[in-house]
């Protein structure tokens, strides 16, 4: 059985199918605008994750800090929230902190977001009960949201 599709009838309006395909091919040369929105959304999500002690966007809450650290933080006048000490790591992963602490590189074809805070790797390696990494891993909701955003950009164009 053969199915025949007339490509010209897939697109309605004045533009021909070949013109629409040319536009899409032109758009996929540079994803800078849409990836900048993704970066900003990742920063906002990371901020919310820290504010809610990990419980955000379908993620589970981080375990409470050890009582020693809670008391130490209280004495220092610091927040007793788990994994937040002086907020440097949170700010770097949320795009709020010093530019020298954060990694944010958007190119035509890619995006890198992270932190340069020196103790971040130590936290991930040494605190076995705490799982910091999920704040840096896209949730299924985020992944779907970004796929839809990029798909719309490719198919329909994008205006910021």
Q: Does 4 map to a domain?
A: no
- Do the Cβ atoms of 87 and 96 come closer than 8 Å? no
Domain for residue 94, yes or no? yes
The answer to whether residue 147 sits within a structural domain is yes
Residue at 10 is within a domain? no
Is 3 a member of any domain? no
Task: Check if the beta carbon of residue 44 is closer than 8 Å to that of residue 50.
Answer: no
Asked, for residue 46, whether it belongs to a domain, the answer is yes
Interacting residues of 11 by C-beta distance below 8 A, sequence separation 6+ = 17, 20
Residue 86: domain span: 16-156
Q: Does residue 5 lie within any of the structural domains?
A: no
Tokens of 47: 């901020």
Q: Where does residue 77 rank: exposed (0-12), middle (13-18), buried (19+ CB within 10 A)?
A: exposed
**Which among 112, 92, 110 is positioned nearest to 46, based on CA atoms?**
92
User: Looking at the domain assignment, is residue 133 inside a domain?
Assistant: yes
Split into its structural domains, the chain has a count of: 1
Q: Which of 63, 67, 84, 85 is nearest to 76 (CA)?
A: 85
Q: How does pLDDT run along the chain (160 residues), one tens digit per residue? A: 455 545 555 555 556 677 777 878 877 888 888 899 999 998 898 888 888 777 777 777 777 777 887 888 788 887 777 666 678 888 888 888 788 888 889 999 888 888 888 877 666 554 555 554 555 567 788 889 888 888 888 887 644 4
Which of 110, 108, 76, 115 shows the shortest CA–CA distance to 94? 115
């Amino acid at each position: 059985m053969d199915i025949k599709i007339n490509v010209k009838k897939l697109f309605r309006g004045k533009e021909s199918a070949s013109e629409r395909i040319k536009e899409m091919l032109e758009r996929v040369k540079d994803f800078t605008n849409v990836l900048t929105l993704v970066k900003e959304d990742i920063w906002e999500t990371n901020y919310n994750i820290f504010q809610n002690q990990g419980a955000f966007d379908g993620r589970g809450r981080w375990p409470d800090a050890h009582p020693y650290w809670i008391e130490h933080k209280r004495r220092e006048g610091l927040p007793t929230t788990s994994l937040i000490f002086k907020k440097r790591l949170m700010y770097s992963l949320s795009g709020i902190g010093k530019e020298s602490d954060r990694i944010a590189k958007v190119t035509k074809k890619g995006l890198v977001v992270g932190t340069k805070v020196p103790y971040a790797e130590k936290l991930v390696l040494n605190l076995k009960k705490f799982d910091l990494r999920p704040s840096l891993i896209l949730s299924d909701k985020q992944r779907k949201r970004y796929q839809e955003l990029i798909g719309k950009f490719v198919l329909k164009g994008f205006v910021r």
